[in-house]
Amino acid sequence: MPVTAIQASGLVKWFGEGEAKTTALKEVSLEAYLGEMLYIVGPSGSGKTTLLSVLSGILRPNAGSVLVEGADIWGLGSDRLAEFRLNKIGFVFQDYHLFPRLTTAENVAIPLILRRKSWDEAVSEAVKYLDIVGLKPRAELLPVKLSGGEQQRVAIARAIVSQPDILIMDEPTASLDGDTGRDIVSFVRRNILNHERCVVVVTHDDRIYEFADRTLEMEDGRLSGIEKRGANTEKGDK
């Protein structure tokens, strides 16, 4: 019996008012489980990123709930919500959003620093995670000295350094060439995903679909109801 990591129900989100009102999410419900790599796919403007933001405690929905460990995250105050994101969620942003003037190790250490670890302790812990993503020798370099794939790996290391239960990846291959993109997602699947962690990936890159355990399609603010099992699950590649 899979353990539920996220349980979202009846999510509604709109932007603007009056004639400019656009509904990005229309009664969206889903569940994500620990140990699975869940893909949310769909064309641009279908509401994927909005859904991801609502699920991760970044964007407040107009209706609906998101339960993580049985508690509705949208019932939390802003400080508790920030604490939730810091402790439970790891983010891999589409454009990485690394700090250009901090070293690779310092970038990875940021979530630990925000968790009140001392600077030196956080940086030395970060180096261990850089080792996991194969970038330990580059710990002292600035992000600008790294390739796109390496920067993405740094972003992944930063996302997992605080050992979150849920890893959120927004278009992880958008800025990478085909082979590198596949390598990154394959790496996450092999090394980051485990039975205590859930990885939610938003993408429209069909070259990486094969790594999903489950794929949900979105269109016009709704989950289209098609739930595909990924090739990996079928192959037992986990």
Burial label for 177, CB within 10 Å (0-12, 13-18, 19+), is exposed
Nearest-approach distance from CB 212 to other proteins, in angstroms: 20
User: Measuring CA to CA, which residue among 209, 205, 218, 216 is closest to residue 177?
Assistant: 205
Closest to other proteins by CB, 33 vs 93, is 93
Q: Are strands 4-15 and 63-68 parallel, antiparallel or unpaired?
A: antiparallel
Q: Are strands 37-41 and 198-203 parallel, antiparallel or unpaired?
A: parallel
CA–CA gap between residue 113 and residue 123 (Å, rounded): 9
Nearest-approach distance from CB 104 to other proteins, in angstroms: 14
Closest to other proteins by CB, 15 vs 195, is 15
Helix, coil or strand: residue 226: strand
Q: What angle, 0 to 180 degrees and rounded to 10, lies between the N-to-C axes of helices 119-132 and 148-160?
A: 120
Nearest-approach distance from CB 232 to other proteins, in angstroms: 26
Closest to other proteins by CB, 91 vs 211, is 91
Nearest-approach distance from CB 236 to other proteins, in angstroms: 33
Closest to other proteins by CB, 49 vs 173, is 49
Closest to other proteins by CB, 82 vs 226, is 82
CA–CA gap between residue 153 and residue 132 (Å, rounded): 10
* Cβ–Cβ under 8 Å, residues 137 and 169: no
Burial label for 152, CB within 10 Å (0-12, 13-18, 19+), is buried
In sequence order, the 6+-apart residues with CB closer than 8 A to the CB of 129 are: 108, 157, 158, 160, 161
Where does this chain bind other proteins (CB under 8 A)? 49-50, 52-53, 58-59, 78-79, 82-87, 89, 91, 93-95, 97, 99, 101-102, 106, 110-111, 113-114, 116-119, 122, 170
CA–CA gap between residue 6 and residue 9 (Å, rounded): 10
Q: Tokens for 6?
A: 């996220």
Closest to other proteins by CB, 3 vs 99, is 99
Nearest-approach distance from CB 106 to other proteins, in angstroms: 7
Nearest-approach distance from CB 193 to other proteins, in angstroms: 20
Nearest-approach distance from CB 2 to other proteins, in angstroms: 27
Closest to other proteins by CB, 53 vs 203, is 53
